Amino acid sequence: MDEALEREKKEEFDASEVEYVSYGGEHHLPLIMNLVDQELSEPYSIFTYRYFVYLWPQLSFLAFHKGKCVGTVVCKMGDHRNSTFRGYIAMLVVIKPYRGRGIATELVTRSIQVMMESGCEEVTLEAEVTNKGALALYGRLGFIRAKRLFHYYLNGVDAFRLKLLFPQPGLHPSLPMMADRDDAQEHDDDC
Amino acid sequence: MDRHALHQPSSSSSSIPATANTVWTDASPLLEVACKDLRDGELIHVDNFNLYAAMSALEIMDPKMDSGIVNRYCSVDEAIEDGVAPVPISTDKTTDVQCMIDIMDHLLTCEATWHKGHSLAQTVFSCAYLLRPERTSSHALLHSYCKVIRATCKAVITVVSDARTHEEEDLFTMAYGLPLSGDGDEKCLSLLNAVEENISRQLRACKAPSSKRKPLEDIEPLQTNFDLEEGYCKALLCRLRFRKHFFHVLTCMRRPQGRGLELARKHIASCISELGVILKSAEFLMSNAHGTCEDATEDRTTASGHQAIGFDASLNSRISAPTPPRSIKILSWKKAIEYFEKLLHDLDIICSYPLDPSLEVLLRFVAQFQKAQPDLVARAHLQLLLVQDGKLYGKCPMFSLIIRAARLPEVFLHHDIQKNEYVVQLGQLVINMLKILCTNAAWQRRKLGKILQDWRVIYVQIELAFRKDFGEGSSISNGDNASARILKHILIWVDEQTYWISHRFLILGFELELYSPSEYCMVYWYLYVVLIRLAEKTHLKMTVSDGSAKQKGKKRKDSPKELARDAKIPPAISFLQCQICLAEGLTVLLAALRNELMVLQSPSPFNSEHERFIQHFELLQKACIPDNISYPSFKESTSYARFSTLAMYNYFKDAQKIAKEARSGFSNDPDRLAELRVLEQVAEHNSIALNVICGVGALDPSLKVSFEFIHHPCFATVVVKRS
């Protein structure tokens, strides 16, 4: 109980004291896993983490305050249905005492920046419909709520699929109608 | 990526098929060498090791991931041996009855939790008594109740899987490894009736005055405490009767062509009244609960507040692979009863639908039904009623539905053009649309967005066929070619229907909370554009069909009376006009707020409003709904909006006036009359709000304007406050 209260307590710090680093190797993995396990509802195996950080280390960032890891973002990018090069934000966590100070925005902005520079046409993610903080954060970054996913999470809560479309030079490309491949997380019909 | 390069010998490219001459060798040493190559933390990455594979990987002995991990018991049998589910539940007859009622109640909460989206294995079948059907046979009450529960689950699964339109609710029908069909479960009702009859006699016996009790003395009482006999008999009877009637409801509703609907309604009424009795029994059960009540709170899953015996959610964890189940929260007993009351109410609405042959009436009915957000089981029943064997209600061919929708006379019901491949395809599209309209709002909106394309394509195909067969110059006015006339009418209707779907697609976005306030302006603008087209198409359909009818009657068109009637706007159009005014008013107001007060704008670092417009309306734009509409047209029509123009022309006043006038046209349609009233309310409210904004000072910085859905789900009420 005391521990929980301790965790709830707001930390006093200066924003300039927070240091952002790109994923730097296996020594960062336990830090990321620890944060995500603490804060997110879904359990992930170590393979899931490695899948992301080994394949797209440039898209994962960690935030440190006085040597302590206080936030992280984990992402991927790739062809979606062989038609769209798409970035995907898999996990974004900032521990409670450090929230509300723009750390999450900074982390996710860095990832999105890299995605844009790498040629992504859009970025997507899912967020619980009840997660007002996350929805506001992504709204400010230009994400729209593209669709609602009924009972998406194992806890029975609906999710929004949020999407950010980057400005396209000229008209947007014609999209092939057929799709033969789908990603695992996206048990949606079309995402 | 290179670090995870394939640790495979190149010879493993597997295009060489195994034959009789293939020599098999042990690959273990090779694998061992390969493993030594790997350092701690390294990952072999092959192309098919995708996110799915990563997420399906297990960490053995991690309780969150390893479904094989030993919980309390290794097996159901081990749990039973340990006394988890004794038969009889207690050797004391009173306790046995009390426990039996707890089991019934907890099963009801499990069933509701299952319907609400959790797995059967973790809810209803967390009951060890259900898992070993043969074990309960010596306990008639328990045995009959378990049988009817299994049979009911099976019936509900059948309904949902027959209606299956999507995988989102897959979890519902997943029953692998569960004994859904016990021996003789199909005869569950006869056993249930016998048990019910016996308890009724016990009830009669205990209620009889002591002088008359003699002839009934051969009846063994339900339990040993005479003072409690009546209460327990009644508590059991309402529970048994609820199960019986509920099972009847399910079977009646599945009769072909809606033949059992009337009878189903009677059983629904009985179910609802038994639920009331069940609810009332709580007082008696709580005051006489055996032992101490562990959980007498609102969260309790039984009427008595006592925990039910024989349940363990971990019993099925092994058959729940691939993902081990998360622990779930079972609904409370009160919430479960509320759920069933709502389900029965929704089913009653379905049963009371008169199976109207008109698509227009049907679509309004389905939309109205969906407003109450019915759950999966009710929606599945509706879908199966609407579409059976590829026909409406299992009896009305799709072609006849189309003929009526296109306002063609019934003489064409058997016209040969129904064999035309595009007309057949169109019938399929209608079936598909009806099924989609029965799904949950989230899925429904996505699918409606997708089928717009199909509706556009079929329009073009029919139009091409029409041109090919009847030439460019062919006109309906010569009227002698029936096929041409049918196709022409169908085309107009397809166009209208496409706009109807688009309209529903847009308004569902409000219900699903997909739009944020900074996007309202473009959404109302698009809604306005779509509504105008919908009104045009509807009007065209009416005019053309009226024109054809008149022509047939060879009436003179120029009689003054006729003209006066023509000038009168049909109620359906007024209804749309009222919404057009509201949508336009909101668009202009939002635009003025943005242009003059610089609010409701959301600059973002990575994109602009243009991209958000493309994303929100992509599916409509792809289907050219409407033609020549794009972001620049939106900007063009909103960038000059000012409060001064709004002050001069109050769209909300128009909406209010139209709503008032249109009322008389819907005196026989309470649903639309009610909606019209709500529209009028919004119009009136917004008209006043607009006056306040324009009057007191649009540029007063203390004025805060917000948009709330307090009256209508999609037309916002403008709320003005001073901060």
Give tens-digit pLDDT for B295-315: 557 889 999 999 999 999 888
| Chain A contact present for B248, CB below 8 A | no
> Can you tell me the distance from the alpha carbon of A176 to that of B4, in angstroms, rounded to the nearest whole number?
32
Q: Which of B354-363, B459-468, B477-486, B509-518 has the lowest mean pLDDT?
A: B477-486
Could you give the percent of chain B with pLDDT greater than 90?
65
What pLDDT does A36 receive? 92
What pLDDT does B549 receive? 64
Question: In this predicted model, which residue has the larger pLDDT, B635 or B699?
Answer: B635
Cα–chain center distance at B248? 23
> Can you tell me the distance from the alpha carbon of B667 to that of B426, in angstroms, rounded to the nearest whole number?
34
> Can you tell me the distance from the alpha carbon of B298 to that of B361, in angstroms, rounded to the nearest whole number?
42
Written as one string, the DSSP assignment of A33-82 is HHHHHHH-SS---HHHHHHHHHH-GGG-EEEEETTEEEEEEEEEEEEETT
How many other CB atoms are there within 10 angstroms of residue A43's CB atom?
18
Residue A176 has pLDDT above 50, yes or no: no
Task: Point out the residue among B45, B51, B607 whose CB comes nearest to the CB of A142.
Answer: B607
**A141 touches B606 (CB < 8 A):** yes
What pLDDT does A8 receive? 59
Instruction: Looking at B593-704, list the stretches that DSSP marks H as alpha helix, in order from N- to C-terminal side.
Output: 609-622, 631-638, 643-648, 651-662, 670-696
**B613 touches B634 (CB < 8 A):** yes
Written as one string, the DSSP assignment of B227-271 is HHHHHHHHHHHHHHHHHHHHHHHHHHHTSGGGTTHHHHHHHHHHH
Residue B47 has pLDDT above 80, yes or no: no
DSSP state of B597: I
What pLDDT does B213 receive? 57
DSSP state of B519: G
What pLDDT does A1 receive? 36
> pLDDT for B177-201, tens place per residue?
899 887 788 889 999 999 999 999 9
pLDDT band for position B722 (50/70/90)?
confident
Question: In this predicted model, which residue has the larger pLDDT, B563 or B315?
Answer: B315
The backbone torsions φ and ψ at residue A148, rounded to the nearest 5 degrees and listed phi first, read -105, 135
pLDDT band for position B13 (50/70/90)?
very low
What pLDDT does B212 receive? 60
pLDDT band for position B324 (50/70/90)?
low
Taking CB atoms and an 8 Å limit, are A54 and B45 in contact across chains?
yes
β-pair partners for A39: none
Question: In this predicted model, which residue has the larger pLDDT, B353 or A46?
Answer: B353
Place of tokens 């018991």: B73
Taking CB atoms and an 8 Å limit, are A141 and B605 in contact across chains?
yes
Contacts of A160 in chain B (CB under 8 A): 514
Residue B62 has pLDDT above 90, yes or no: no
| Chain A contact present for B60, CB below 8 A | no
How many other CB atoms are there within 10 angstroms of residue B486's CB atom?
23
**A123 touches A164 (CB < 8 A):** yes
Task: Point out the residue among A47, A150, A165 whose CB comes nearest to the CB of B614.
Answer: A165
Question: Which residue of B lies nearest to A182 if distances are taken between CA atoms?
Answer: B52
How many other CB atoms are there within 10 angstroms of residue B556's CB atom?
7
Residue B479 has pLDDT above 50, yes or no: no
- Identify the H or E element spanning B721: strand B717-722
Task: Point out the residue among A149, A167, A184 whose CB comes nearest to the CB of B50.
Answer: A184
Question: Which residue of A lies nearest to B53 if distances are taken between CA atoms?
Answer: A184
Task: Point out the residue among A48, A116, A154 whose CB comes nearest to the CB of B606.
Answer: A116
pLDDT band for position B2 (50/70/90)?
very low
**B416 touches B455 (CB < 8 A):** no
β-pair partners for A63: A20, A71
Residue B531 has pLDDT above 80, yes or no: yes
Cα–chain center distance at B486? 35
Q: How near does any CA of chain B get to the CA of A188, in Å?
A: 8
Taking CB atoms and an 8 Å limit, are A144 and B612 in contact across chains?
yes
Contacts of A187 in chain B (CB under 8 A): 167
What pLDDT does B649 receive? 85
Written as one string, the DSSP assignment of B539-559 is HHHHHHHHHHHHHHHT--TT-
Binding-face residues of B in 495-514 toward A, CB within 8 A = 512-514
> pLDDT for A105-141, tens place per residue?
999 999 999 999 999 999 999 999 999 999 999 999 9
- Please report the number of interchain residue pairs, chain A to chain B, with beta-carbon separation below 8 angstroms: 134
**B446 touches B530 (CB < 8 A):** no
CB proximity list for A83: less than 8 A, separation 6 or greater: A173, A175, A176, A179
**B68 touches B325 (CB < 8 A):** no
Q: What is the crossing angle of helices B333-352 and B261-287, to 10°?
A: 160
Written as one string, the DSSP assignment of B24-36 is P---HHHHHHHHH
Residue B101 has pLDDT above 70, yes or no: yes
Question: In this predicted model, which residue has the larger pLDDT, A120 or B320?
Answer: A120
Residue B289 has pLDDT above 90, yes or no: no
Q: Which sign does the torsion angle of CA B137, B143, B149, B152 carry?
A: positive
Residue B487 has pLDDT above 50, yes or no: yes
What pLDDT does A188 receive? 40
Q: How near does any CA of chain B get to the CA of A84, in Å?
A: 14
What pLDDT does A20 receive? 97
What pLDDT does B564 receive? 47
CB proximity list for B171: less than 8 A, separation 6 or greater: B117, B118, B119
> pLDDT for A43-99, tens place per residue?
788 888 988 998 999 999 999 999 999 999 999 999 998 889 999 999 999 999 999
* pTM to 2 decimal places: 0.88
Contacts of A129 in chain B (CB under 8 A): 513
Three-class secondary structure of residue A18 per DSSP? strand
**Reported ipTM:** 0.86
Largest CA distance in chain B: 100
Amino acid at B259: R
Contacts of B447 in chain A (CB under 8 A): 189
What pLDDT does B694 receive? 83
Cα–chain center distance at B499? 22
> Can you tell me the distance from the alpha carbon of B397 to that of B547, in angstroms, rounded to the nearest whole number?
26
Place of tokens 């000059």: B640
What pLDDT does B698 receive? 59
Binding-face residues of B in 512-551 toward A, CB within 8 A = 512-516, 519
Residue B553 has pLDDT above 70, yes or no: no
What pLDDT does A155 receive? 72
Residue B11 has pLDDT above 50, yes or no: no
Residue B476 has pLDDT above 70, yes or no: no
> Can you tell me the distance from the alpha carbon of B125 to that of B316, in angstroms, rounded to the nearest whole number?
8
> Can you tell me the distance from the alpha carbon of B476 to that of B541, in angstroms, rounded to the nearest whole number?
13
> Can you tell me the distance from the alpha carbon of B180 to that of B161, in angstroms, rounded to the nearest whole number?
15
- Four-CA torsion B214, B219, B223, B226, nearest 10 degrees: -10
| B167, B611, B617, B622, best to mutate vs chain A, most A CBs in 10 Å | B611
Contacts of A45 in chain B (CB under 8 A): 54-55, 57-59, 62, 65
What pLDDT does B320 receive? 64
Question: In this predicted model, which residue has the larger pLDDT, B695 or A188?
Answer: B695
Average pLDDT over residues B233-247: 98
| Chain A contact present for B601, CB below 8 A | no
| Chain A contact present for B616, CB below 8 A | yes
Residue B144 has pLDDT above 70, yes or no: yes
What pLDDT does B349 receive? 97
CB proximity list for B158: less than 8 A, separation 6 or greater: none
What pLDDT does A11 receive? 81
Taking CB atoms and an 8 Å limit, are B515 and A142 in contact across chains?
no
What pLDDT does B556 receive? 46
Q: Which of A150-154, B262-266, B661-665 has the lowest mean pLDDT?
A: A150-154
pLDDT band for position B557 (50/70/90)?
very low
What pLDDT does B584 receive? 96
Question: Which residue of B lies nearest to A116 if distances are taken between CA atoms?
Answer: B606
Amino acid at B634: F
Contacts of A185 in chain B (CB under 8 A): 51-52, 55
Supply angle C-alpha A146, A147, A153, rounded to 5: 125
Largest CA distance in chain A: 57
Q: What is the mean pLDDT of chain A?
A: 85
CB proximity list for B178: less than 8 A, separation 6 or greater: B120, B121, B125, B131, B316, B319
What pLDDT does A175 receive? 37
**B438 touches B427 (CB < 8 A):** no
Task: Point out the residue among A48, A54, A163 whose CB comes nearest to the CB of B4.
Answer: A54
CB proximity list for B179: less than 8 A, separation 6 or greater: B130, B131, B132, B133, B150
> Can you tell me the distance from the alpha carbon of B546 to that of A21, in angstroms, rounded to the nearest whole number?
72
The two structure tokens encoding residue B296: 């007498």
Amino acid at A130: T
Average pLDDT over residues B262-267: 98
Q: Which of A73-77, A84-88, B28-32, B102-106 has the lowest mean pLDDT?
A: B28-32
Q: What is the mean pLDDT of chain B?
A: 88
CB proximity list for B683: less than 8 A, separation 6 or greater: B578, B581, B582, B585, B652, B653, B655, B656, B659
Average pLDDT over residues B663-681: 94
Domains of chain A: 2-165 (3.40.630.30)
Contacts of A141 in chain B (CB under 8 A): 604-606
What pLDDT does A181 receive? 33
pLDDT band for position A102 (50/70/90)?
very high
Question: In this predicted model, which residue has the larger pLDDT, B42 or B368?
Answer: B368
Could you give the percent of chain B with pLDDT greater than 70?
87
Three-class secondary structure of residue A23 per DSSP? coil
> Can you tell me the distance from the alpha carbon of B121 to that of B270, in angstroms, rounded to the nearest whole number?
29
> Can you tell me the distance from the alpha carbon of B720 to that of B723, in angstroms, rounded to the nearest whole number?
10
Place of tokens 């999450």: A104
Average pLDDT over residues B466-490: 74
Contacts of A148 in chain B (CB under 8 A): 441-442, 445, 512-514
Cα–chain center distance at B273? 26
> Can you tell me the distance from the alpha carbon of B276 to that of B341, in angstroms, rounded to the nearest whole number?
9
> pLDDT for B378-407, tens place per residue?
999 999 999 999 999 999 999 999 999 999
What pLDDT does B466 receive? 86
Q: What is the crossing angle of helices B333-352 and B226-253, to 10°?
A: 40
Binding-face residues of A in 109-148 toward B, CB within 8 A = 109, 112, 116, 129, 139-142, 144-148
Instruction: Looking at B372-440, list the stretches that DSSP marks H as alpha helix, in order from N- to C-terminal side.
Output: 376-386, 398-405, 421-437
Bond before A97 cis per omega within 30 degrees: no
pLDDT band for position B357 (50/70/90)?
confident
Taking CB atoms and an 8 Å limit, are A166 and B614 in contact across chains?
no
Residue B445 has pLDDT above 90, yes or no: yes
pLDDT band for position B217 (50/70/90)?
low
Residue A184 has pLDDT above 50, yes or no: no
Question: In this predicted model, which residue has the larger pLDDT, B551 or B485?
Answer: B485
